[in-house]
């Protein structure tokens, strides 16, 4: 018989606050067209993107995260000292170690919070949210900060016609804390590593270091293959998340998919047969694809504009490089 005492965590967890940060510089499609042979009409029709934000030298991964996190902590009505965990999802922090989460935890003023980075691409926010929920229910932290942050402009090949217009920078954060009732549903997540070549870094860092390639590594993707996978397979995952939460699409108030491409969003809405009353996040139009940051940034904007409100039931789903995915149903803060 085990002598280990049971954990004293909360019965459930919920999102208590949300915050976002978008870099000051707004980049219209016209700037992208300086380096690729395309048109504003083509970019809008293929992706829905009109503008995106690109970070300056001062808007580092850590700096953007701190700005977004401060807003989320204030929105949650707690202090930084109460944060027991900081989880950062990013693929664009270029120091292998230490984790940028440790710097963020320190500068926010947490009292030695557990802090670590995860790499799960565009599904990273969902992965982090699931880990935070587990920490709270298990009892290892009362409040956990989950951050999705990217400076994808650093990993964009401006001469690649297939991807140059897609990516943006920014940070989104949420505070997850205890709840007396279910407010973050079961997560449906997974990976399909046999499709890892469809979204990838062009070459390893070592190839650039050793002079085997002259061009800095960038993110590339097979657009049509990713589109088909996202539309058909991720709609199934989204439905599984609804089923796991015990609700139907009629019970939804809001749909917040990863802001990869508006055509993908439209196709998922159609495949899921979402009712007209469901508010659909379309932050991609002015923010672009910010990978791990896209869901919390879209959530923050919907709440700030009043398109969504506190207590709404939202389906969130992220999907991307790996290929990986994560979907769950949440109650909005």
Residue range 225-264, pLDDT digits in tens: 999 999 999 999 999 999 999 999 999 999 999 999 999 9
> What pLDDT sits at residue 175?
98
* pLDDT reported for residue 147: 99
pLDDT of residue 66: 98
| pLDDT recorded at residue 79 | 98
- Collapsed DSSP state (helix, strand, coil) of residue 91: coil
pLDDT at 50: 98
Under DSSP, the state recorded for 4 is P
pLDDT score recorded for residue 2:
82
Tell me the catalytic residues.
122, 258, 289
* Low-confidence spans in the chain with pLDDT less than 70: none
Q: Which of 144, 130, 150, 139 is nearest to 174 (CA)?
A: 144
CA distance 148 to 150: 7
| Beta-bridge partners for 150 | 170
Structural contact between residues 295 and 126, judged by C-beta atoms closer than 8 angstroms: yes
Helices (H), the chain: 29-32, 40-47, 61-76, 100-108, 124-138, 205-209, 223-228, 234-245, 262-272, 284-287, 294-305
């Amino acid at each position: 018989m085990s002598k280990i005492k049971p954990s004293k965590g909360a019965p459930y967890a919920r999102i208590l606050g949300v915050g976002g940060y978008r870099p000051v510089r707004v980049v219209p499609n016209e700037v992208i067209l300086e380096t690729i042979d395309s048109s504003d009409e083509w970019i809008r029709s293929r992706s829905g993107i009109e503008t995106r934000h690109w970070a300056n030298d001062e808007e580092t991964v850590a700096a953007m995260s701190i700005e977004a996190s401060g807003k989320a902590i204030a929105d949650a009505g707690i202090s930084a000292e109460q944060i027991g965990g900081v989880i950062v999802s990013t693929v664009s922090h270029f120091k292998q170690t230490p984790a940028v989460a440790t710097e963020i935890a320190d500068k926010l003023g947490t009292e030695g919070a557990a802090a670590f980075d995860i790499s799960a691409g565009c599904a990273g926010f969902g992965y982090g949210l699931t880990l935070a929920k587990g920490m709270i229910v298990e009892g290892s932290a009362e409040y956990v900060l989950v951050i999705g942050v990217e400076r994808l402009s650093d990993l964009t090949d401006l001469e690649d016609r297939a991807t140059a217009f897609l990516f943006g920078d920014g940070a989104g954060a949420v505070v997850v804390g205890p709840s007396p009732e279910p407010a973050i549903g079961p997560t449906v997540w997974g990976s399909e590593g046999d499709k890892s070549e469809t979204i990838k870094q062009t070459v390893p860092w070592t190839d650039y270091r050793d002079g085997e390639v002259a061009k800095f590594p960038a993110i590339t993707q097979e657009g049509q293959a990713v589109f088909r996978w996202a539309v058909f397979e991720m709609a199934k995952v989204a439905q599984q998340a609804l089923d796991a939460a015990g609700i139907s699409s009629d019970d939804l108030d809001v749909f917040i998919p990863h802001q990869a491409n508006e055509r993908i969003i439209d196709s998922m809405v159609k495949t899921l047969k979402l009712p007209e009353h469901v508010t659909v996040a379309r932050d991609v139009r002015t923010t672009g694809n910010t990978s791990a940051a896209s869901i919390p940034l879209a959530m923050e904007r919907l709440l700030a504009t009043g398109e969504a409100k506190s207590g709404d039931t939202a389906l969130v789903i992220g999907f991307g490089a790996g290929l990986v995915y994560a979907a769950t149903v949440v109650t909005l803060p």
